[in-house]
Structure 1
Amino acid sequence: MDFQAFLITLREALEAILIVGLILSYLTRLSADQYKKWVYVGVILALISSFLVALLFQVVLTGFATFGSEVYIKVSIMFASVILLSHMVLWMKKQSKGINDEMQEKIQAAITAGSVSAMVIHSYLIVLREGIETVFFFAAISGGDVTKVFQSFGALSGLLMALVIGYLFFSGTMKISLKAFFRITGIFILFIAAGFLVQGIGILQDLGKMGSLYTSAEGKPQELYNIVQFMPEHFQDQIHFERDTGESVLINGQIGLFFAAMFGYTHNPSLEQFLAYWLYFIFAYIWMRFVNTGKITFKLRKSVPVSPEQQKASIQNGKEGNVPQMTES
């Protein structure tokens, strides 16, 4: 959990720090330093709001636990985190080139209008978005104990590392390739997302809420393979295996636990877990390789004026209206 917390905190905090830093740098270039204090006000308000969201999140999860629905909420958080983490990586890859220009336009508009509130709101929303995402991801990796992750060494060290990288970047004392940084962290985050997907499917199958195409004689989901002797995914699995067989595992369960948390490893996946894991990476690769780069785009045919005779002929041929087209370039 510590490494997951470290990576997520590092990524989310650094995104917020970089964007806020760009705002402050742009204000300096425009000789508009009087607005900087309002940027800081927005950041402070966002941090307070993020902690309040974390508190509210914990209260809600505790309430659901009282009604016995906690496990379903946790699974829902896992699946939602898969979507959010994937979006975060894919969005950053596609939008990173234009984010600076977009930010400058908003700041310029606020300065031109002399709007202090716009400056506060802009910086507030930037930091709040990252804060809420962090709370959500912390809930996923901790099974709902958000406060535990906030106090963990991983989260604190991730925040500290983000502050150091941000300082070195803006002070110019160290050349940092942010493109390479976000690419590397993005790959790890995709692994975390795939792990959430596999864990969520596994929980639903254990609860009997999700079936399988590959079942045992009792009709329960059947493991596709079992390599617990090679590397158990938890040290408890190692204890049970060694107790039942009298044999030793090849790789310690503590290492298996790290791989399970970091890469979604499981020593006995069901067919659905196995397929979901690899199909997720195939989808992510296709999206980043082709859709984000514009090699595959979705376009609508432009509407053009047509005569009544042409419209009648189109209706007869079943071709009326705009049709989505997938084009390759």
Structure 2
Amino acid sequence: MEVQALLITFREALEALLIVGIITSYLKRVGHREYTKYVWLGAALAVAASVGVAMLFQLVFTGFAAMGSETYLKIGIMVISALLLTQMVFWMAEHSRDMKKSVEGKMDQFVTAGNVAGMVIHSFLVVLREGVETVFFFAAITHGNIGAAMQGWGAATGVVIAAFVSYFFFKGTMRIPLKTFFKVTGAFIVLIAAGLLVQAISMMQDIGLIGSVMPHVYDLTWLLPEHPIDYEHYVRDHGVAPVFSGEVGVFLKALFGYSSMPSLEEVLAYIGYFVVVYLLVASRRGQKKAVVEKPAVASLEEQAKNVM
């Protein structure tokens, strides 16, 4: 859980800090440093609002638990979080290159109009979006115990690393192409999303919401048990210890959705998820290539007409 929390908070906090940093740097560059306080005010209000959302979310989750519907809420959170994480990765991959230009253009409109309220609201919404996403993802990786994720070392470490990276980035001492950076971190986020999807399917099968054609495709308990309890049971039943500890299995399950005895549906969902992601990536690359080649073809046709 802690590693998941670190990756999520690092990614979300960095995105928010980069956008706020772009805004404040632009305001200083154009000679309107006095507006930066309003940007930070909006960001601070968004952080406070995100904490409020976390408390409200926890309250709602507790209510579902009291009604005996906790498991269904967990499954819903996992599925939606997997979709949101995937969408977030694709969104950043597409907009990271033009992020600076887009943000500065919006700020230029606010400065020209002297729209202080617009600056506060814009920075508020930017940071709040990241905060709400973080709360939702924390609910997914902790099965509803958002406070545990917020108080752990993973979340705090992710924020600290994001702050350092953004600081050195804007100081000019760190040269990182944003597109490449988000592509690398996005790969880990996709793995987490796939794990959440598989865990949701496993929970649906546990409560009988969906069945299984083949409950156990293979059994890797002898190599890597899914949990320390599975480790102990294997030693008791076979008289020998598995190759790896159950603690390793717990870590991999929390991070990537590892299962030592997956059902056929879990295996197909895991593989199918990556196939869909690959097809989406290939499709977007094809669309971008077509957009780039179209002006080139038009230019050649125009030259041919001029020659004739």
State whether TM-score is above 0.5.
yes
Take 1:131 and 1:64, find their aligned partners in 2: how far apart are those partners? 23
State the Cα deviation string for residues 279-313 of structure 1 (Å, max 9, x = none). 1011111212332552688xxxxxxxxxxxxxxxx
Equivalent position amino acid for 1:100 in 2: K
> What is the match of residue 76 of structure 1?
76
Matched, 1:291 2:284: yes
Matched, 1:253 2:246: yes
Take 2:150 and 2:160, find their aligned partners in 1: how far apart are those partners? 13
* CA displacement at 1:204 relative to structure 2: 0.3
| Structure 2: tracts of 5 or more residues without a match | 291-308
Question: 150-159 vs 232-241, which deviates more?
Answer: 232-241
* CA displacement at 1:227 relative to structure 2: 1.1
Per the alignment, do residues 121 and 231 of structure 1 end up closer, same or farther by CA in structure 2, a change over 3 Å counting? Answer: same
Equivalent position amino acid for 1:282 in 2: V
Q: Percent identity?
A: 48
- Number of residues paired by the alignment? 291
For normalisation by structure 2, the TM-score amounts to: 0.91
8 Å Cα contact 1:290-1:296 kept in structure 2: no
Residues 159-170 of structure 1 aligned to structure 2 (within 5 Å): 159-170=159-170
> What is the match of residue 36 of structure 1?
36
Query: Relative contact order: is structure 1 or structure 2 higher (C-alpha 8 Å, sep ≥ 6)?
Result: 2
Take 1:169 and 1:95, find their aligned partners in 2: how far apart are those partners? 18
Take 1:101 and 1:28, find their aligned partners in 2: how far apart are those partners? 16
8 Å Cα contact 1:199-1:264 kept in structure 2: yes
8 Å Cα contact 2:96-2:178 kept in structure 1: no
Take 1:174 and 1:157, find their aligned partners in 2: how far apart are those partners? 19
* 1:267 pairs with one of 244, 248, 260: 260
Structure 1 ranges of 4+ moved more than 6 A = none
| Structure 1: tracts of 5 or more residues without a match | 216-221, 298-329
Matched, 1:18 2:28: no
Take 2:286 and 2:246, find their aligned partners in 1: how far apart are those partners? 41
8 Å Cα contact 2:196-2:256 kept in structure 1: no
> What is the match of residue 317 of structure 1?
none
Equivalent position amino acid for 1:262 in 2: L
8 Å Cα contact 1:42-1:120 kept in structure 2: yes
Take 1:71 and 1:273, find their aligned partners in 2: how far apart are those partners? 18
Take 2:35 and 2:288, find their aligned partners in 1: how far apart are those partners? 42
Take 2:289 and 2:97, find their aligned partners in 1: how far apart are those partners? 19
Equivalent position amino acid for 1:22 in 2: I
8 Å Cα contact 2:97-2:179 kept in structure 1: no
Residues 146-165 of structure 1 aligned to structure 2 (within 5 Å): 146-165=146-165
Equivalent position amino acid for 1:187 in 2: A
